[in-house]
């Protein structure tokens, strides 16, 4: 079976096997990872190793903190404005799709003014909005950018211009699937459940000067508190951090992020090349804005799309249904999807096209 779900998504086979073998007893203790205390030396080692592996893989500079939260990307839609929009109470946003717009809604909900600099909603988000204005930190606390738009299938391979305004990146769906320079951001966040592990833990990488005590915000979203407590202000999601740690080791074994991105480019090109040649299926995204991790496509006939999804599932190509707001099909090709899975999908689509 190949699982093309948009998230939670497939995990690398060797990681699943390791979890299975270690589940009854971790490191000979007779206790499962599901049962050990987050205050134990063993878990200290697990969380510290995971942090170091993130630092190594992303070349995180020393003046950035790596934090582990719960609450997903959605939790960070609140945490980021609560912690960072404290000067001007005004942020800028590029409306590149559903999740960018949700982030704007949550900031607005918390009393922050949100200036949408550009939107491609009128183009059905089939290309990316760009910021053409010169932005100034005397006006905005930060600019929110969704690096990869999971539902619409676009990605910023080059970051938008942002003047001297701090850039905040929602990397939820291409975290460590594509290389970015951490230094270009003031803050990066994303749940791990697409490219890096099971649902339950959210990684935040934040520059030191942006972390300051803020009054009257929930402790569970408080960056300064989480820095002080090494992400263990309360009980962290122990299993999710452990499993993410195993995926990080696997990423290192694959050759690190440069190699992973090269593979992800190869995987997505295989599918895009087929779709561009196909007379039945179309991907409508502007070529330079296409995502490496989420590929939406359609026959432009809802009934036929559903037939494809069903027939694919019958052959073990699972979860190809597009998001309800877009319809059609979507193949998510996250880090753990092997190129053999993409080849199997292309072969299936090709055969379906021949028969129809
Ligand atoms: N941002 C992006 C780009 C997403 O794709 C998602 C979920 O798919 C979210 C935010 C919300 O994340 P979560 O479900 O972890 O709260």
266 labelled catalytic:
no
Measured in angstroms, how far is the CA atom of residue 260 from the centroid of ligand 1?
21
The reported pLDDT for the residue numbered 240 is: 98
99 labelled catalytic:
yes
Q: What is the number of the ligand 1 atom nearest to the C-alpha of 7?
A: 8
Per-domain boundaries in the chain: 13-253, 256-355
> Which pLDDT band, with edges at 50, 70 and 90, does 132 fall under?
confident
> What is the spatial distance between Cα 309 and Cα 323, in angstroms, rounded to a whole number?
13
pLDDT of 133 > 90? The answer is: no
pLDDT of 313 > 90? The answer is: yes
pTM (2 d.p.): 0.98
pLDDT tens for each residue of 29-82: 999 999 999 999 999 999 999 999 999 999 999 999 999 999 999 999 999 999
The reported pLDDT for the residue numbered 271 is: 98
Q: Which of 245, 150, 236, 235 is nearest to 197 (CA)?
A: 245
* Structure ipTM: 0.99
Q: What is the number of the ligand 1 atom nearest to the C-alpha of 171?
A: 3
pLDDT tens for each residue of 227-252: 999 999 999 999 999 999 999 999 99
> What is the spatial distance between Cα 290 and Cα 288, in angstroms, rounded to a whole number?
6
pLDDT tens for each residue of 137-172: 999 999 999 999 999 999 999 999 999 999 999 999
pLDDT of 131 > 90? The answer is: no
Site residues for ligand 1, CB cut-off 6 Å: 7, 72-74, 99, 146, 150, 170, 172-173, 191
Q: Which of 350, 335, 354 is nearest to 13 (CA)?
A: 335
CA 85 to each of CA 107, 144, 201: distance values in angstroms, whole numbers, following the listed order: 9, 11, 23
The 10 Å Cβ neighbour count of residue 216 is: 5
> What is the spatial distance between Cα 202 and Cα 192, in angstroms, rounded to a whole number?
6
> Which pLDDT band, with edges at 50, 70 and 90, does 134 fall under?
confident
170 labelled catalytic:
yes
The reported pLDDT for the residue numbered 156 is: 98
> Which pLDDT band, with edges at 50, 70 and 90, does 311 fall under?
very high
Supply the mean pLDDT for the chain.
97
Name the CATH architecture for the domain at 13-253: 3-Layer(aba) Sandwich (3.40)
- For domain 256-355, say whether CATH 3.90.380.10 is its number: no
pLDDT of 96 > 90? The answer is: yes
> What is the spatial distance between Cα 148 and Cα 129, in angstroms, rounded to a whole number?
12
The reported pLDDT for the residue numbered 151 is: 98
């Amino acid at each position: 079976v190949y699982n093309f779900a948009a998230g939670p998504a497939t995990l690398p086979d060797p990681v699943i096997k390791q979890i299975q073998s270690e589940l009854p007893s971790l490191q000979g203790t007779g206790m499962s990872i599901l049962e050990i205390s987050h205050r134990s030396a063993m878990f200290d080692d697990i969380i510290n190793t995971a942090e170091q592996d993130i630092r190594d893989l992303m070349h995180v500079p020393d003046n950035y903190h790596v934090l582990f939260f719960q609450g997903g990307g959605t939790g960070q839609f609140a945490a980021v404005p609560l912690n960072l929009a404290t000067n001007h109470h005004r942020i800028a946003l590029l409306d590149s799709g559903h999740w960018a717009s949700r982030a704007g809604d949550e900031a607005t909900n918390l009393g922050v003014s949100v200036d949408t600099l550009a939107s491609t909603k009128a183009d059905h988000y089939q290309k990316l909005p760009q910021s053409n204005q010169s932005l100034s930190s005397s006006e905005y606390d930060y600019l929110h950018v969704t690096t990869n738009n999971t539902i619409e299938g676009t990605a910023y391979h080059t970051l938008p211009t942002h003047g001297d305004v701090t850039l905040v990146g929602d990397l939820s769906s291409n975290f460590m699937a594509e290389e970015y320079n951490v230094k270009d951001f003031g803050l990066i966040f994303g749940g791990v459940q697409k490219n890096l592990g099971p649902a339950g833990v959210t990684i935040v990488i934040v520059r030191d000067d942006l972390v300051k005590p803020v009054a009257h915000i929930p402790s569970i979203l408080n960056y300064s508190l989480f820095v002080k407590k090494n992400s263990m202000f309360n009980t962290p999601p122990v299993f999710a951090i452990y499993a993410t740690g195993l995926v990080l080791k696997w990423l290192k074994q694959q050759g690190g992020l440069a190699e992973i991105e090269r593979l992800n480019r190869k995987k997505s090109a295989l599918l895009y090349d087929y779709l561009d040649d196909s007379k039945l299926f179309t991907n409508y995204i502007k070529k330079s804005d296409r995502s490496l991790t989420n590929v939406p496509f359609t026959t432009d006939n809802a009934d036929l799309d559903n037939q494809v999804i069903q027939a694919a599932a019958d052959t073990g190509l699972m979860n190809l249904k597009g998001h309800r707001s877009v319809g059609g099909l979507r193949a998510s090709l996250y880090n753990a999807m092997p190129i053999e899975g993409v080849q199997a999908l292309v072969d299936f689509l090709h055969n379906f096209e021949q028969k129809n």
